[in-house]
Structure 1
């Protein structure tokens, strides 16, 4: 029996489609015959549901809906924060400490429950968790390949190249990137995508895994049809490359 697979989904910024792409990846893995589970280890922004008596985060709920194996809430999201703001700020206000070790342990548990576990980060790649650690440290602690979601809008080339450089500088495998067309009116979108594709391939060997069109409303099933799961699975099954 093959070992379970996992990846960390990060983005060039917040609100650029990490959850949509994460859900699309879950659908794609399922279509490839793999059982799936998802984690949103740190979620900032929650509302109380009187029907089940629980606090819910919209992104985490979407991941649950897309995954085949739904994890217990405390495993899927060990740190659920109420205010929609930078997690280290909200955690301090709520008197909580965000630690990497519990997340790593929850990830181990998730790997026991599915063939592939998709872990969605919070915000961009270097969002602080506390005064010393950020989400880049979380990706390193998990030790899994990274998929970068690039929100296609003005400034995305710089954001994509900087984020990719930060990922690789941590010794992580950049398994590929997804262009998400969040701004349907963006000028020269195709040219921007081609520029990013050329640079990320040349500098890091990171393939373009797909171009997700502007979707209103968002649909993980439609987005999944635009992803190259064959290339991604091949990368995930390779031994981790040394930096």
Structure 2
């Protein structure tokens, strides 16, 4: 994990930390990895200043808010991942599925959720680039490109490699899985570094995964 640290996780993730939280943090770290070099180029091309730390804060805050809204949404995309999504719903959300990676074009609720997630990221980026002084058309093009790049990353890592594991187990506990992706381990309840109650978990929810082979892990 390159850009997300322990403080980010403890501050922004709802407790308990689930496998959906793992998806959230993995993808936000991927967004930031893509944006860091892109922002440097944008600053040179458009003669603007883009504050990376503030953008990171906005991503963590707003992507978390999106997932909180999903939890109360009547569509229940993650509870019914294989349910068919009608064309009308794509049209209402202005989604042209033919532009998206092949695996995401299958009209299931879990794929629709991923598209909405990527669109939320693009909306955050678009508004941020506008605020930085980039003109509207350019900001729109750049945010659309970023949206599809994230979709490709998710298709490669979350779908092809992991077969939607975090999304299909979205309510399962994810603290130990997330810890295994961190350079520095998260506070461990088994080592009395943090109380399970602080994390909204029970003692039996913890199973260390840091000793697993790095080859088995998704994060790069």
Q: State the TM-score bracket (shorter-chain normalisation).
A: under 0.3
TM-score between the two structures when normalised by the length of structure 1: 0.26
Bigger helix fraction: 2
Which of the pair has the greater relative contact order for Cα pairs under 8 Å at 6+ separation? 2
Task: State which structure, 1 or 2, has the greater radius of gyration over its C-alpha atoms.
Answer: 2
Structure ranking higher in strand proportion? 1
Q: TM-score, normalised by structure 2?
A: 0.28
